[in-house]
Structure 1
Amino acid sequence: MRIPTSLQKIHGKSAKAWVQRQNHTTENILYQHPEFHQIEHRLLSTFNASNRTYDISYDGDDFTFYQKTTDHPHGRKLRIDQSAYLQYAPTTETLIDMDALCAQENKEWVFNQFIEEEFNGKTVCLVSLSEGGCDSCVLREYNLATRQFIDNGFYIEDAHSDAIWLSTDSLLIATNVGQDTLTTSGQPAIVRILKRGQSLSEATTLFAVNRSSIGIELSEIGSYQFLEEKTDFYCSHLYLIQQSDTTIQFDLLPIPKDAELVDIFNDSALIRLRSTWIVSENKTFPGNSIMSIDIEKFEAHPRTLAKNLKPKLCFYGGDDIAIESVKSNNTHIFIEILNNLNSEIVILTHKNNRFVRDHKAPVFPSMGHVKVVSISLNNDTAILHYQNYLTPCEQYLYHVKTHELTCIRRNAPRFNAHNYEVTLHKAVSRDGTKIPYYMIASKTLMRDGCNPTLLYGYGGFSDSITPHYLNTTGLLLEEGFVYVEACIRGGGELGPNWHSAGSSVNKQTSFDDFIAVAESLIAEKITSPKFLGIQGSSNGGLLVAACAIEIPSYFGAVVCEVPLLDMLHYHQFCVGPIWYAEYGNPEDPIMRAIIKKYSPLQNIRSDVRYPPMFIQTATTDDRVHPYHARAMTHRLQHFNNEVLFYEDEYGGHTGRGNLNQGVRDHARVQIFLQEKLAVPARKARQALQSQMTQHRFFHVNHVRKRARAGAEEAVVVETAAAASESSSVGGRVPRKR
């Protein structure tokens, strides 16, 4: 059957009517559930706690952070004195109030970031705002002192844009200035210098890339500015931007295409190598490593060879260590790693012309995750976050020189963690590879196959699944659920090779791994297929849909969010061509044959019953077109499968809408899972226990009857023997033994 092309039109009249009908049906089913509003209330309740942790950033002697509460569901960007924050003093200063702005302009604005202008003491910035949570954004000039947008200031219309300040009156801007200024991925292909008072059409073009490239990204790190031409998702050309009184030049750094600039350490650029770099005949650096090059020397001599930039190895991850992030100040480099899944912080200093590891860096409990949130440039302190599946986020102030670690804030728990435990297991995939997975379950777990279980996965783009507090999923634990997260290939949990083994031509491996974890849970009698639910979003939405279509009998429910599902045509929607390096190009015959085997939409069969599905997306998702979710729903429903669909008007791809909307998204999922998994699982356990009780009853009765029969037989024998004895010699006969 053909899917209506009208579903491809995001705001088309026919598509809008179809979405409204689907949403209405879903709301009637889920919102009427007696526990729906109770779940909403519980999820909202902790957002108002005064001692919550935030992803704070150092700003001189202050901290800045973004806060959402029930009173300010769209959020506020706040600034607070460091000492006041440490003492829980409510003396915050509002830099921008998004609720007030949304009400004033009657738009669903989402705050992205401030792009600060450094020339006037950071009193002026560009505010990046997205309408409805889109990836595209509007850039507007804003006065941080008066908290007002500047009349006739810089204003860039809604587009995929990037900008940096060149002076108080000029910007370097990459944005949409007409179709010939975009790449085939819909990203900026040119960079212009925009002077105050000019229109974009009047701005002078300084740099352009081939339209087959992904696009251009601009960044500023410390005192250095960079332009990155993304040639694919993992490769780029990196240029140092240098300006004089009369010219602006872009100098190409002599580093590998698949290398990534991660930070500036003093006057060295820190580079992450994905593959081996042969600098010269006698100097080679391994992949999966962090190294430095002298950016100050390159600035002075932009035509110099890489071997002359003093390349040094900072850290080598080997085959199995995943390098998560790198941050630095003037004295130390902080590297977050996963060492055989264990989250660690590596702290480096530069001494005697080499990088030295600080072996007194803080160590946190295993099966948790530690994150470097921010590092001070003024003193040797850093803000760290630690959490695990059962421990809410804890915020620490770390003094690097003294190694003093102080917990300054803790999030309140959302459920009683004492009843549960976290264990790490391994399933065996189709090719024999062992696949780790975390399981969170009751300490008194019954292995009778009757536990409602939710299995979550992602497996793409080298993103790692790491332990995190179960803010929302914890409520499912209270309903008797077992929660499982699978570290499948395609992700980055065990290093670059783990990713490449599950991407592109190897994409099916991700699905095999996920299915192997499901099989392990069933074999261990943790659950049974009809009580096993799976959940994933974006690439994870592709994952769960592909597995449910491949082996529908394994699963009792599927939650599929903002998913990629029409993989034969994904490159024709939104920014699809960006992902050629991850999925392959469907126009290539070899890749098309591979993709066709797993693309969920193309593999739906009319003669197969698929498990109940709940598919969610957003109208404002300009990264993964809502058509994917719409088309999948349409086809499954056409073949009379049980599918609920919901399309939020706002939220974009990452669900960055207001707080109330995000909570409602989670509540819908929880009600769906309870009804499809927990309710039948409870009934099955009751039936099983009743059956076992009856079995015990019949077994006990049978034993008693046999005992009574044996006793009666003994009495008969004994009576007969006594009679015989009384008629024999002396009336006594020896008893039979």
Structure 2
Amino acid sequence: MRLGRWILTCAASALVMAGAAAHAETQTGGAQKDTSFLNDIHGKQALDWVRAQNRHTTSTLEKDKRYEGFYKSTLAVLQAPDRLAVPQLLAGGIWNFWQDAQHPHGIWRTASEQSYLSTTPAWQIKLDIDALAAKDHANWVFKGADCLAPADEKCLVILSNGGEDADTLREYNTRTGEFVPNGFTFSRSKQQEAWVDENTVLLAREWDDKGASLTPSGYPFIVKKMVRGAAPGQEKEVYRGAPSDMMVAPMTLTDGDGGKLVLIQRSQTFFESHYAVVEGDTLRWLKLPAKSEIHGLLKGRLVLSVQEDWQPEGMPLVPAGSLVSVDPKNTERGVEVIFTPDPSQSIDQVGVTKNTVLVSLFDNVRGRAMRFTAVQPGRPWSGQVLDLPDMASIHIVDTDKQSDKAFLSVESYLEPEQLWLLGEDGQPHKVKSAPARFKSANLQTEQFWAQSPDGTRIPYFVVHKRNMKLNGANPTLLTAYGGFQVSYTPTYAPEIGKLWLERGGVYVVANIRGGGEFGPQWHEAGRKSGRQKVYDDFAAVGQDLVARKITSTAHLGIRGRSNGGLLAGAEMVQHPDLWNAVIIGVPLLDMENFETMSAGASWADEYGSMSVPKEADFLKKISPLHHLKADVTYPTPFIFTATSDDRVGPVHARRFAAKLDAFKKPFFYYEDIEGGHSGTVNAPEVAHERALEAVYLSHRLMDKQH
């Protein structure tokens, strides 16, 4: 199931919002200026406004003599031919999606495992997205493929036009390397699919063009069975959720012994789901905690994590954050706890092989990995700590359900990504490593702790030159996320290295509440009306940086995207004197109306709802758009978004910029006309936006006039 690619940084919908009239006018003193046209996302007047703002931003920042160098160095890194080719275990080989200067849309290619592990893999191109885009006259973005296990011969290739979340599905044969003639094809929609067998697919999507089969979040709630060769309109309904749900979707799980479960996931809210096993024409609902996530199937048993305390019938309490194994035939009997993190730990990812369960986790925000094996049913699981580098992020790249092999990745702020292969037994070994993209010999990473106003200690990483002087003059960029139980961990970012660290900048990542760095409780503390703690945590880190004399307010800037963009916007209005640069990317900013904008209804479980008086009062207190004031001096922000972002949508950013404009406050605004929620869809566009940011940060934090 592909829900994760929609919800990692909020959920999505599209088109003009129901609450468009909420801010049809921007007030400046006693005058009012009509800005309602900005709500028409693709309207001519709105796009004329966007292009005018883009011209102002690019004409100003591209004039800087450093811009061209920033752009070229970033593009070179993004298109470097010696990048690490991320492996996918599929159809008996290694598959990889690759973009470079010759293939900006990308190619899907394959090699044998032996060839892949060599220094020069013999790749075979299976699908050329550039050629397909040219043939279809579409700006296709490849978003992966859902393949029928275990042979992985029949796949549904997922294509998005311009990077939006809505996609088109086309049946593809990995053996022939061709789209299947008269095969399954599902037109553009926000949709979720699951293979039942080679002739049957369960599909949740918009079944009409009037929105009647979509939830207020813009997601489907009706699942139908699609049978090969059946006439249109003959689809049989499998399950119909409620229009008030966030989403309903099918999913298929397989194990290495030939076992299979077809499930329906009914997500009533962002964090609460119920699961049913599809048994012929009937559904059998499983007794599982509402806050739980299924990760796979092992020996016919479900592997899932629980995000709330769970008391199975006649069993000991299972603490929130635990990983468990259950029998899908009776989920409350014989629950086996695989692993329960201690207070300093939290689970990041879970992968299932034929006989084992892999876990990547954080221990005080430092990456770890373990492999668990069931000794025998009903007995405690055996856990093995994997020997991997410290002060790094460890991720599960892919697992093989037909064996116990798996690929893991390791990276840190200063060490480029490494690929480690875990075999049938023993410890993993490094098989590939990306080359360094920036000079790091004179750089180091430290972890510090700040104290939030309520006494909670907040960890943060600082990457800086070894000989850094504590004189308050170091240009510093601080970032965080703080939401949706998403953890912000060490990542090797070549553009940060080239455009910031090499030039004397300090890079800081704060692990504030709202994320998942310390498990469900860390997230819960910053959810809904607790969100002010998230903003207090971030400000506390900024103040701690100043107190340590690492930097000063004149040299301190912040950056955030999506939910992090909301964070940056809130910090700009709550602490305008603490920062001298603010980058606000693909943000939420209108928190009084977010539920009627794009897929805002799906985020109410994270932020609260205007329909609940107590939560409405809080949202009014923290909405960045509504707390901009004409008589306050703000740092000049750099705001970026994308027209085709059908997840958060560009209107939040447009309204914020329009209000700044009405108050005659300076700002930079850049909206990529084609990009989705990622902001940009190919390497040249990414390099362009990053170069603009680098010039902006140089002006605000490095140059003498600031």
The normalised TM-score by structure 1 is 0.88
Distance 2:653 2:530 in 1: 24
**Which residues of structure 2 form unaligned runs of 5+?**
1-26, 255-259
Matched, 1:523 2:553: no
Where do 1:150-549 residues align within 5 Å?
150-178=180-208, 179-198=211-230, 201-222=233-254, 223-243=260-280, 248-295=281-328, 298=329, 304=330, 306-308=331-333, 310-353=334-377, 354-359=379-384, 361-365=386-390, 367-403=391-427, 405-475=428-498, 476-549=500-573
Identity of aligned residues (%): 31
Instruction: Return the alpha-carbon distance in structure 2 between the equivalents of residues 350 and 167 of structure 1.
Output: 30
> Which of 136, 157, 160 pairs up with 1:127?
157
The aligned counterpart of 2:19 is none
| Residue 199 (structure 1) shift | 5.5
User: What is the total number of aligned residue pairs between the two structures?
Assistant: 666
Counterpart of 2:278, as a letter, is I
Q: Distance in 1 between matches of 2:200 and 2:140?
A: 26
Aligned-residue offset at 1:168: 3.2
Structure 1 distance, partners of 2:342, 2:555, is 40
* Closer/same/farther in 2, CA of residues 60 and 168 from structure 1, 3 Å limit: closer
Alignment partner for residue 593 of structure 1, among 604, 614, 617?
Answer: 617
- Post-superposition Cα deviations, 1:341-391, rounded to whole Å, max 9, x if no partner, equal 2211121111133243344522322x2111121223344332111111111
Identify the match of residue 574 of structure 1 among 578, 594, 598: 598
Out of 551, 563, 583, the residue aligned to residue 559 of structure 1 is 583
Contact 2:370–2:385, Cα closer than 8 Å, also in 1: no
Q: Distance in 2 between matches of 1:520 and 1:391?
A: 26
Is residue 701 of structure 2 the alignment partner of residue 677 of structure 1?
Answer: yes
Q: Tell whether 2:50 aligns with 1:19.
A: yes
* Separation in 1, partners of 2:640, 2:503: 23
Q: What value does the CA root-mean-square deviation take over the aligned residues?
A: 1.8
SS, match of residue 516 in structure 1: helix
Please state how far the C-alpha of 1:472 moved relative to its aligned partner: 1.0
1:442-496 per-position Cα deviation (integer Å, ceiling 9, x unaligned): 1111111111110011100010111111311112012211111111111111111
CA–CA distance in structure 1, aligned partners of residues 384 and 226 of structure 2 = 48
* Equivalent in the alignment of 2:106: 75
| 1:281 shift after superposition | 4.1
Structure 1 residues 157, 562: CA separation in 2 closer, same or farther (over 3 Å shift)? Answer: same
Q: How many Å apart are 1:37 and its aligned residue?
A: 2.2
Name the CA shift for 1:503/1:282 in 2 (closer, same or farther; >3 Å).
Answer: closer
Mean CA deviation greater in 149-158 or 380-389: 149-158
1:550 alignment partner in structure 2: 574
> What is the letter of the counterpart of residue 67 of structure 2?
F
In the alignment, is the contact (CA less than 8 A) between 1:128 and 1:139 conserved in 2? yes
Q: Which amino acid aligns with 2:270?
A: F
**How far apart are 1:642 and its partner, in Å?**
1.4
1: CA distance, partners of 2:700 / 2:80: 33
Structure ranking higher on relative contact order (CA contacts 8 Å, 6+ apart): 2
- 5+ unaligned residues in a row in structure 1: which ranges? 299-303, 685-737
Q: How does 1:41-56 map to 2 (within 5 A)?
A: 41-56=72-87
C-alpha contact (below 8 Å) 2:570/2:622 kept by paired residues = yes
- Please tell me the residue identity of whatever aligns with 2:47: K
Which has the higher mean CA deviation after the structures are superposed, 536-545 or 393-402? 393-402
Does structure 2 conserve the Cα–Cα contact (< 8 Å) formed by 1:237 and 1:252?
Answer: yes
- The CA distance in 2 between the partners of 1:225 and 1:441, in whole Å, is 50
Code of the residue aligned with 1:432 in structure 2: it is G
Q: Deviations over 1:571-598 (max 9, x none)?
A: 1011111111100001222111101111
Residues 656 and 173 (structure 1 numbering): CA distance in 2 closer, same or farther, change over 3 Å?
farther
In the TM superposition, residue 51 of structure 1 has moved relative to its aligned partner by: 4.4
Conservation of the 8 A alpha-carbon contact between 1:346 and 1:357: no
Deviations 1:94-119 (A, max 9, x none): 22111111122221111112122459
In 2, the alpha carbon distance for the partners of 1:260 and 1:52 equals 33
Contact 2:221 2:249 in 1 (8 A): no
Q: Does structure 2 retain, via aligned residues, the 8 Å contact 1:177–1:200? A: no
- What is the alpha-carbon distance in structure 1 between the residues aligned to residue 534 and residue 341 of structure 2? 23
User: CA contact under 8 A between 2:295 and 2:352: conserved in structure 1?
Assistant: no
TM-score normalised according to structure 2 size = 0.91
- How far has the Cα of 1:152 moved from its partner? 3.3
- Structure 1 residues 48 and 588, CA, compared in 2 at 3 Å: closer, same or farther? closer
Letter in 1 for 2:628: I
Give the counterpart letter for 1:651 in structure 2.
G
The residue number in structure 2 matching 1:661 is 685
Paired with 1:573 and 1:401, the residues of 2 have a C-alpha distance of 50
For 1:398, give the aligned amino acid: L
Report if the CA contact (8 A) 2:41-2:650 is conserved: yes
Q: Is the 8 A contact 1:132 1:649 kept in 2?
A: no
Question: Given that residues 440 and 484 in structure 1 are in contact (C-alpha distance below 8 angstroms), is that contact kept between their aligned partners in structure 2?
Answer: yes
Question: What is the deviation of 1:624?
Answer: 0.5
Residue of structure 2 equivalent to 1:717? none
**Which aligned pairs between 1:635-714 and structure 2 lie closer than 5 A?**
635-655=659-679, 657-680=681-704
**Deviation, structure 1 residue 318:** 3.4
2:132 to 101, 125, 147: 101
Match of 2:12 in 1: none
Taking structure 1 as reference, are residues 200 and 442 closer, same or farther at Cα in structure 2, changes over 3 Å only?
A: farther
- How far off its partner does 1:86 sit? 0.9
Q: Distance in 1 between matches of 2:173 and 2:488?
A: 39
Letter in 2 for 1:649: I
Contact 1:566 1:600 in 2 (8 A): yes
Q: Distance in 1 between matches of 2:195 and 2:676?
A: 28
| Bigger shift: residues 82-91 or 49-58 | 49-58
The CA deviation at 1:324 is 0.6
Q: What's the secondary structure of 1:202's corresponding residue?
A: coil
Partner of 2:14: none
Give the aligned residue type for 1:344. Answer: R
TM superposition shift of 1:55: 2.9
Q: Do residues 583 (structure 1) and 583 (structure 2) align?
A: no
3-state SS of 1:284 partner: coil
Helix, strand or coil at the partner of 2:634? coil
**Aligned letter for 1:261?**
I
Alignment of structure 1 residues 86-97 onto 2, 5 Å:
86-97=117-128
1:632 aligns with 2:656: yes
In 1: Cα distance, 2:455 partner to 2:383 partner: 38
Question: Residue 142 of structure 1 corresponds to which residue in structure 2?
Answer: 172
